[in-house]
Amino acid sequence: MDLDYTTNEPKMEKDYSETVKELLPEVEELANNGELRQALEKLHGLEKKTRAAADLWSTTQLLERMAEVCGEAKEWVMLEQEVAAMAKKHGQLKQAITKMVQKAMSYVDKTPDEQSRIDLIEALRTVTEGKIHVEVERARLTRMRVAIYENNGQIKEACDTLQEIQVETYGSMERREKTDFILEQMRLCLAKRDYIRMAIISHKINPKYFEHEDTEDLKLRFYELMIQYDVHEENYLEVCRHYNQVYTTKSIKEDVNKWPAVLQNIIMYLVLSPFDNEQSDMLHRFKQDHNLEKLELCAQLVKSFTTMELMRWPVMEHIYGPEFRTTDVFSAQTEDGNKRWITLRDRVIEHNVRVIAKYYSRANITRLNELLDLDADDVEAFLSKAVVAGTIYARIDRPSGVVNFSKPRDGEEQLNGWASDVGKLLSLVEKTTHLISKEEIVNKIARAI
């Protein structure tokens, strides 16, 4: 049988549309009188002919009417059986099956109880399994099933069921719906505490898609989920990046009730991040943000971390503790909040170590104890950590109790230094000679006059 390339179905051999139009009122009358069997038999008889003739419009009308007759009569078992039977018919037209499944789906919300709803959903999922032309319908039915699982507190079953659907491979699903589906998969993975799978699924979404105007709600949902994930993983710089994406969103930026909280979280997670070039760059960029001036404490904190001066932790705790300890980030009521407060203390000490390494070439351990408000063992631990991270150079002489912050230069560096010094000296001599010659010439001219 030849294909009709406009519909990708077999070419129609005979048109039964007029016959169908005459039959449908009779079927409706039988259905209204409660004679469902007779109505379905009439539909079956004509459906066989329209299917054999590849009459797509007529077949679609008949299949939809079969689903409608069963659904309106609230015969849910009969509806399941009819859909399953019609989908298995030899040579059944794909588009007709799709329309019938869509019609049956419209009755899911009309089922009288949860069990009937589950049975109908599962029956339709069975019909759509493995069929590309109804893959979108299968995905939507799966979400309905997952919603029931979640309402019953079965998070694991809901998550596992939703993972079966790989919507990123569906060509017939719109990108917005596809993204929404993936976000739901991410949310359930977080609810199940399956963080590894959540991270894998998150890579299926391209953040550039959120540059479109109508995707703002999806963008906020995506970054909210990513913030939860990276907070759990303690990737504070990533958390800061996610909050920055939220902060630059138009609806957040223009709402004076929303952006202060977001900006505050950016600053808090930024100072919690380990020091590196990117962290330092972001800190200096946010220092230039005019909105930061409206958050006094956050502005002071950024200034303290961007200024090469010592910060005494007891003083910092006294200034920032009363307000910061009431926030979700540093909450005194949660274990994570207390842990992050300790991390902030460590970041303050690490900053102080970098300041000391910049201004001191050598320092006594006792003096460092006073400057850092730590005992000798803790000082050594923080120095070692900074050296391993590559942020400072330091060598500890334990017998003498001295820390050397000056990096020794090898022979080549020493010679280059000497050559540079000699070059500067010769340049000064040449400049001095030139000034002397200029002065002599001026004096000669003055005498001649």
Q: What is the pLDDT of residues 251-278, one digit of tens each?
A: 898 888 999 999 999 999 999 999 989 9
Instruction: Tell me what pLDDT residue 264 has.
Output: 93
Task: Give the helix/strand (H/E) hosting 155.
Answer: helix 155-163
Under a CB-based contact definition with an 8 Å cutoff, are residues 239 and 269 in contact? yes
User: What residue type is 128 in one-letter code?
Assistant: T
Locus of tokens 């009730």: 257
Q: CA–CA separation, 173 vs 158, rounded Å?
A: 21
- DSSP class of residue 134? G
User: Which pLDDT tens digit goes with each residue over 414-448?
Assistant: 777 778 888 898 999 999 999 999 888 888 888 87
Instruction: Tell me what pLDDT residue 3 has.
Output: 54
Per-position DSSP letters for 279-324, written without gaps between them: HHHHHHHHHT-GGGGGSHHHHHHHHHHHSSS---HHHHHHHHHHHH
Instruction: Tell me what pLDDT residue 262 has.
Output: 93
Instruction: Tell me what pLDDT residue 1 has.
Output: 46
337 Cβ contact list (under 8 Å, min separation 6): 325, 328, 329, 330, 331
By CB atoms closer than 10 A (0-12, 13-18, 19+), residue 67 is: buried
Instruction: Tell me what pLDDT residue 4 has.
Output: 55
Q: Which of 129, 150, 114, 115 is nearest to 83 (CA)?
A: 129
Long-range contacts of 146-152 (CB under 8 A, 24+ apart): 146/184, 146/188, 148/114, 148/117, 148/118, 148/121, 150/188
Per-position DSSP letters for 48-92, written without gaps between them: HHHHHTT-HHHHHHHHHHHHHHHHHTT-HHHHHHHHHHHHHSTT-
Burial profile 243-254: b = 16 or more Cβ within 10 angstroms, e = fewer? bbbbbebeebee
What region, left, alpha or beta, does residue 406 occupy, with left being phi > 0 and alpha being psi -120 to 50 degrees?
beta
Using 50 as the pLDDT threshold, list the residues of the chain that sit under it. 1, 5
Instruction: Tell me what pLDDT residue 7 has.
Output: 58
Instruction: Tell me what pLDDT residue 6 has.
Output: 53
Under a CB-based contact definition with an 8 Å cutoff, are residues 405 and 356 in contact? yes
Under a CB-based contact definition with an 8 Å cutoff, are residues 397 and 383 in contact? no
Structure tokens at 210: 């959120």
